[in-house]
Amino acid sequence: MTNHESEYWRMAEALRGSMDAAEYKHVVLGLIFLKYISDAFEERYAVVLTKYGEEAAEDRDEYIAENIFWVPLEARWQHLKNETRQPTIGRSIDDAMIAIERDNPALKDVLPKEYARPALDKTRLGQVVDMVSNIKVGGTDARATDVLGNVYEYFLEQFALAEGRKGGEFYTPRSVVRRRGRTMPASIPDKTKQCDILLNTPPEVEEAKVTLVFPD
């Protein structure tokens, strides 16, 4: 764990307010993964735009070929940032999740899509989006140092404590991100929902998977 994870957690916890930790973790962790997808996409977008121009930068194949999820216009992070002060921010996030699933079959029925529900404070949700905007999880450097796994693991552990439970009740350390060549615990309770998603990996790693863990 680095100072970054604890700093991000302090920011996230400050925005939770009276929201139940069990509900809040779904809000935050879903946005963090969306930010991961967006960071990787935006980094590749900048490279393609510089080398080949705007038409190529909007070509889905330029991303799929590099094992990077394609992000359609309505789902891009900057679009969501522009919506953070609008009462429709929840619907915008749900629409972004739906669009990404639509254009990336590997993510079908994986991403959370309950941000528009009336019970979710949209002002606070917009603040969480602003907070997550400061977390760089999907760029080349972040992927090489496993920032997503570190942040995700730390947040799950803290949410377990916030719910008054021991982490082991729904959280197994290092079960979030497992890469070939590493020895990590793989046991996850049956009650845990999980999905394996192929991700872009550093050159020295042939294949990587992330397991999204959304405890009940």
pLDDT tens-digit series, residues 59-99? 999 999 999 999 999 999 999 999 999 999 999 999 999 99
Please classify residue 4 by burial: count the beta carbons closer than 10 Å to its beta carbon, then call 0-12 exposed, 13-18 middle and 19+ buried: middle
State the Cα–Cα distance between residues 106 and 104, nearest whole angstrom.
5
pTM of the full structure:
0.73
- Residue spans of the domains in the chain: they are 3-165
Q: Which fold has domain 3-165?
A: Ferritin (1.20.1260)
pLDDT tens-digit series, residues 202-213? 333 333 344 444
